[in-house]
A and B are shown apart, each in its own frame.
Chain A
Amino acid sequence: MHLPTYLTMLAAAERTLAASHLRVAGGHTDEPDVRYTCTGFAAQSTRNADALDPIAERYAGRRQAEPDRLHPRGLTAVRPGPVGLLRDLQDLYQLAGLVEITWTLVGQAAAGARDRELIGVAGASGPRIGAQLAWLRMRMKAAAPQTLLVAP
């Protein structure tokens, strides 16, 4: 089965998302809401990954060969200025989007596998990433006119 591969991938993607949040938080300290919110999101994603680890462990023995280029890449550097911030947030949005849909897919598989523990974890973690997406979306929408029309 490929679920074990997806569980490992998901935990890794949450950790990549956490690291990317921290990079954005640390790189845009003059934007306090980004700094503190993304720091909080990083902790949340790390907790999501930690909650998944023991389940992934449980499935580890049933692992099949995995396809290439499975793992998403995180942000390696932040971009300067208002446009840079907007673009960095878009990267986070893309990454969080992948994590969120993966939780949905894993939740579906969990239902099929009648795995109550995984159903519970996916049901709690997925919506948290949904909330991250909602925040990122709101923040980008608010910043877009100023950034695209008048930012120096």
Chain B
Amino acid sequence: MDSDRVADIWGARTPHGAGAPWPDRVDGFLSGGIGEDDVERWVRSACLLCSNGCGLEIAVAGGRIVGVRGRAEDRVNHGRLGPKGLYGWQGEQHERLTAPMVREGGRLVETDWDTAMARVVERSRALLDAKGPLSHGFFTSGQLMTEEYYTLAAIGKGGIGTPHMDGNTRLCTATAATAFGESFGCDGQPGSYTDIDHCDTVFLFGHNVAETQTVLWARVLDRLDGPNPPRLVCVDPRRTKVAERATVHLPIRNGTNLALMNALVHELIARGHVDAGYVGAHTIGYAGLEELTRDATPEWAAEICGVPAADIVRAAEIFGTGERVVSTVSMGFYQSHQATAASCQVNNLHLLRGMLGRPGAGILQMNGQPSAENNREAGCGPALPGFRNWDNPEHVRELAELWNVDPIVIPHWSPPTHANAMFRYAEQGSIGFLWIAGTNPMVSMPDTGRIRRILSGDQCFVVVSDGYRTETTELADVVLPAALWAEKTGTATNVDRTVHLFEKAVEPPGQARSDLVIWLDYARRLGLTDKDGAPLPAWNTPEEAFEAWKRCTAGRPVDYTGLTYGMLHDRGGMQWPCNTGAPDGTERLYTDGRFPTAYDDCETFGHHLATGATVSETEFRASRPDGRAVLKTAPYEPAYELPDEEYPLRFTTGRTVYHWHTRTKTRRAPQLQEAAPSMWVEISEPDADRIGVAEGDIVRVTSRRGSIEAPARISRIREGTVFAPWHYGNPGDEDPTDRDAAGRDTADTAANELTINAWDPISKQPEFKVAAVSVVRVRAGDGPAPAPTTTASAPVHGTSTTNRR
């Protein structure tokens, strides 16, 4: 059953025509020497290495994971697994944190749970008594279980009462949530993956799906290679695998998304591709949208975006004439300065054509991380649990009732604090207790040098729970060993609202515990109670937490009440909302053109897209959306930092197919690490010629914030743009002995040394896609750059090897 998904990333094609079901193809991998007969148990779960959430079974023998295979009956993947899903789990079996650690005399030393938790609680209690709840912050991940998020939300928002809670989901998915909130009144993916099977047109906006969600790309490929293939339009400054298959590729300058989007909307209106009946019945704001895009002609946008006007016209024509159009949107749009406005314009394109809520007509605003969706749903990010509106007293009262606490405890005087502000408060010391769970901000947050100063300073006590030692744990005051995937039970939800049950297959290593157990222990030791003195949270096991979460979702758009652990075990992934009215789940939202924009339903009153100022309740009520979607946009503005003489190039960051985030797992999986072993940067051939750089030469990339050195890959990236993967940290942050006397690495490699500390005004998602940089050649390298040749990072003059070996 062994499949090779390193060289053959997407696997064999199983082509089909529009409307036919996607055929099964089961991928599997057992580690060396293990045969199917050796497997003692197959445990049901799903992959947790990207937001696709492919259903799988875990092979267990001798108390260890020995392999995985896809579940043919799962609606997400029909058996398929990509490289990370097949091989990534091996990373959990190496170099794990197995004991709590506390800082003694500047060094982390191993200890037991009692000692570590006593230290956590002592500091937490002292600060709460002295300074109150605003002294506490929690920064979590997009990789925990729903049960864990909801438990933390109850502890932080119902027990302690701090608004300072956010996830690294702020970096990957916040814009998906805000774009939904602005357009439809509430978070929630309208479309379904099955729309790919039905569509006649696909638009990918800043979404290198071939590398970030390989199984979803396999689904698209099976349509592209079948009868009546869809037309494909790709917006991406790099020549990705997606771009290679595109009918129209728009390699726009990074940082100009909204100019393009305003022009596409302009064209749709100008060429009469608007479904006036749908717009009239189901939307508000058309006049404003028309006015704001009136001057955004293709010629105007072409100048800004650096692509031919004719290509913009053609793309708009394709959108305007498709009968079943699917759009996907991802980081190229989300991690930029007008992220929400640009992503709303994608929603607007669909609304203008009434192109949602039926097979093949759908929007997929992507998530990055596997359970980013649950962080949003359960209220560890920008909303209150169950997509409740912090600005709606009735929603706050419902929560208070669920938790049996006084509503005044629940912070609802302003939106929950976003990650950037939390780190700023930690920098200033007004947050004196910061708990970081399952994430590595030392590599993933912008401006690494600043994050290093914040976490290593004395002004803030830092607790980190993680499965591994990371660049971040090295700076913590207390480190707690966490159980990972397959070592605990819980649920997570993928991009298209599919909920999976992740069953425990093996015991966690050493003393490691699940984040659920760790947080409940913290709450009990802190003595958190509801208003009758009963312990808060009022649950102890994952399944009890899930039942509590279901009660929290009752009557909200994100309704889980019809789901049980038993059903999810038996049937595999199911889509919310699932309740008595929809006992098998719900494939598509908004099939009737009714949106959750009524006052009682909505998660947000929205924002002014140009400035990010909140729309007040009065303004919202006056606009009378009453179940209609909201069309809105903003004028295009140039990026925060533009190229100039000193820093003439546009730097952007992204991912590669073989790695997941900061590589804590994937670098410990040999097949993946070997396929993309170390840092590189990509530049275009004309830029390389100008600077005098050859393939593999070591270059220094410098921005106003810092510089990195890495081998150059000369790729088919857009001229003027420099790309770097952000998976790789600095050698000196992993191993402090790699530093010079000043505490600096001899040569940094982390892409985020260069990125700018700025964000979209609504989603607060950081700008990772434009920073002005210069590139100089440092010395010759020893062969081609260590970048994969199977993907967008392929060299412009192809080589036949997968990689330098």
Contact = CB atoms under 8 A, between A and B. Distances in A.
A132 B134 CA distance: 28
A134 B608 CA distance: 9
Given A141-B414, A150-B135, A135 B424 contact: no
Interface stretch (A4-12, A30-38, A56-64): A30-38
Interface string B751-783: 000001111010000000000000000000000
Contact of B131 (A31, A32, A35, A150): A150
A131 interface: yes
B613 A40 contact: no
Nearest to B619: A134
A33 B759 contact: yes
Contacts of B637: 40
Nearest to B337: A36
A147 B431 CA distance: 11
A35 B767 CA distance: 14
Nearest to A133: B613
A65 interface: no
Interface string A128-152: 0001101101100110011101111
Contacts of A74: none
A82 interface: yes
Given A37-B761, A146-B430, A152-B428, A138 B610 contact: no
A36 B163 CA distance: 24
A138 B337 CA distance: 19
Given A135-B612, A146-B425, A82 B430 contact: yes
A141 B613 contact: no
A147 B414 CA distance: 14
Contacts of A149: 131-132, 134
A40 B759 CA distance: 14
B420 interface: yes
B562 to A, nearest CB: 37
B654 interface: no
Nearest to A43: B637
B703 to A, nearest CB: 15
Chain A binding surface, main DSSP class: helix
Given A82-B430, A142-B414, A150-B132, A33 B761 contact: yes
Interface string B123-139: 00000000110110000
Most chain B CB neighbours (cut-off 10 Å) among A31, A82, A135, A141 = A135
Given A33-B761, A40-B637, A150-B135, A82 B428 contact: yes
A118 to B, nearest CB: 20
Contacts of A82: 428, 430
Contacts of B132: 149-150
Interface string B392-433: 000000000000000000000111010011001101111100
Contact of A134 (B427, B611, B758): B611
Contacts of B414: 138, 141-142, 145
A6 B414 CA distance: 37
Given A31-B424, A145-B413, A146-B425, A131 B758 contact: no
Contacts of A31: 424
A38 to B, nearest CB: 11
A128 B715 CA distance: 44
Contacts of A138: 414, 612-614
B134 A150 contact: yes
B757 to A, nearest CB: 5
Given A33-B759, A151-B430, A142 B611 contact: no
Contacts of B459: 152
B608 A131 contact: yes
Contact of B758 (A32, A137, A146, A152): A32
Given A30-B424, A32-B420, A150-B132, A132 B611 contact: yes
B178 to A, nearest CB: 14
B413 A134 contact: no
Interface residues of A, number: 24
A33 B611 CA distance: 10
A141 B612 CA distance: 14
Nearest to A142: B414
A82 B431 CA distance: 13
B430 A134 contact: no
A86 to B, nearest CB: 12
B429 A152 contact: yes
Contacts of A131: 608, 610-611, 613
Interface string A109-133: 0000000000000000000000110
A35 B613 CA distance: 15
Contacts of A40: 637
A152 B394 CA distance: 34
Contacts of B590: none
A42 B658 CA distance: 45
B387 to A, nearest CB: 20
Most chain-B Cβ atoms within 10 A of its Cβ — which of A82, A146, A149?
A146
A21 B388 CA distance: 35
A148 B637 CA distance: 34
Listed residue (B415, B428, B613) with the most chain A CB atoms within 10 angstroms of its CB: B613
Interface in B426-452: 427-431
A33 B764 CA distance: 9
Contacts of A150: 131-132, 134-135, 430-431
A37 B614 CA distance: 15
B430 A36 contact: no
A142 B415 contact: yes
Contacts of A145: 134, 163, 413-414
B613 A134 contact: yes
A36 B612 CA distance: 12
A142 B637 CA distance: 25
Interface in B696-724: none
Nearest to A32: B758
A35 to B, nearest CB: 8
B519 interface: no
A5 to B, nearest CB: 31
B797 to A, nearest CB: 40
Nearest to A134: B613
A131 B615 CA distance: 10
Contacts of A141: 413-414
B647 interface: no
Contacts of A30: 424, 427
B640 interface: yes
A40 B634 CA distance: 14
A109 B135 CA distance: 51
A30 B757 CA distance: 9
Nearest to A137: B613
Interface string B587-603: 00000000000000000
A100 to B, nearest CB: 13
Contacts of B413: 141, 145
Contacts of B131: 149-150
A12 B756 CA distance: 34
A137 B135 CA distance: 23
A32 B611 contact: no
A-B pairs, top 3 by smallest CB distance, nearest first, are: A134-B613, A135-B613, A150-B430
11 contacts: A32-B756, A32-B759, A33-B761, A37-B612, A82-B428, A134-B608, A134-B613, A135-B612, A141-B414, A152-B428, A152-B429
Given A135-B612, A137-B613, 17 more contacts: A30-B427, A31-B424, A32-B756, A33-B420, A36-B337, A131-B608, A131-B613, A138-B613, A138-B614, A142-B414, A142-B421, A145-B413, A146-B134, A150-B131, A151-B428, A152-B428, A152-B430
